[in-house]
Amino acid sequence: MTITREAPILPVPSGPLQRIGQRTIACIAETGRAATICFASVAAMRHAFAPRARAEIVRQLYVCAVKSVPVVSVVAFFIGMILALQIGIELRVYNQEGLTGSAVMASMLREMGPFMSGLVLAASVGAAMAAQIGTMTVNEEIAALEIMDIDPVRFLVMPRMAAMAIAVPMMSFYTCVLGVLGGALVSHTQLAVPWETYFRNAMDFASVKALWVGLFKAFLFGFIIVTVSCYEGFRTTHGAVGVGRATRRSVVSNFLMILVVGYFVTRLFY
């Protein structure tokens, strides 16, 4: 797949309608290119078990999952504590603070687990991907790969896609577990809810459907993060300033896409 290409030369818009039309066409074209990169990366998965690709996938998995554990741990634990505190305060008005565990478990499995893990990885790993590939683009390393007949999508995007598709669901489940534990700590110390009551209600409300829907969301978020970040890296121009812009665009676009796609997946299954 050819990545480098000349930027299209468009006529100077003569009015607001022509300007809107040009921006609309450009947005559609950019969406199509990003989708093409995603589909080409999925198609290249058949080469994932080659020795060099397998080693790169393991390295990317270490970057995406293992090195993200500290920040994900802090975020997950405090998200669970915040949920338990806010929900428990409201339930205590009706003398139902014992149900805090059920509410925290439902929130973490369905929404907060995949959302928070996706946002954290988008802000850390996704931004790093955009910056790295953007630097390679402005230094003409991507063009050099194409001259050597090396597919940049197979060489750069596919290992990151495979690693992120594994890492985000793993981090989502890890976030759910730590969030529930953080909620248990707050429920016991601040709301006087016994440990046994909290965990019994939490496990009674933990459904297989909620778990699989959350993991499916996280799986989609992994594809979104890699597609958006790598696409923004490939379209980087204007040197170091362009790398900064690509990094910012990747984080903003990833956040918006995660929120929008997460809503529609929830609406689809519930």
User: How does pLDDT run across 182-226, given as a tens digit for each residue?
Assistant: 999 999 898 888 899 899 988 888 888 888 999 999 999 999 999
Q: What angle do CA 144, 145, 148 make, to 5 degrees?
A: 90
What confidence score (pLDDT) does residue 4 get?
58
Average pLDDT over residues 63-69: 90
What is the tens place of the pLDDT at every residue in 130-161? Answer: 999 999 999 988 888 888 888 899 999 999 99
| Separation between Cα atoms, residue 73 and residue 2, nearest integer Å | 39
CA distance 221 to 200: 31
pLDDT band at 31 (very low <50, low <70, confident <90, very high): confident
- Give percent above pLDDT 70 in the chain: 96
Average pLDDT, the chain: 89
pTM above 0.85, yes or no: yes
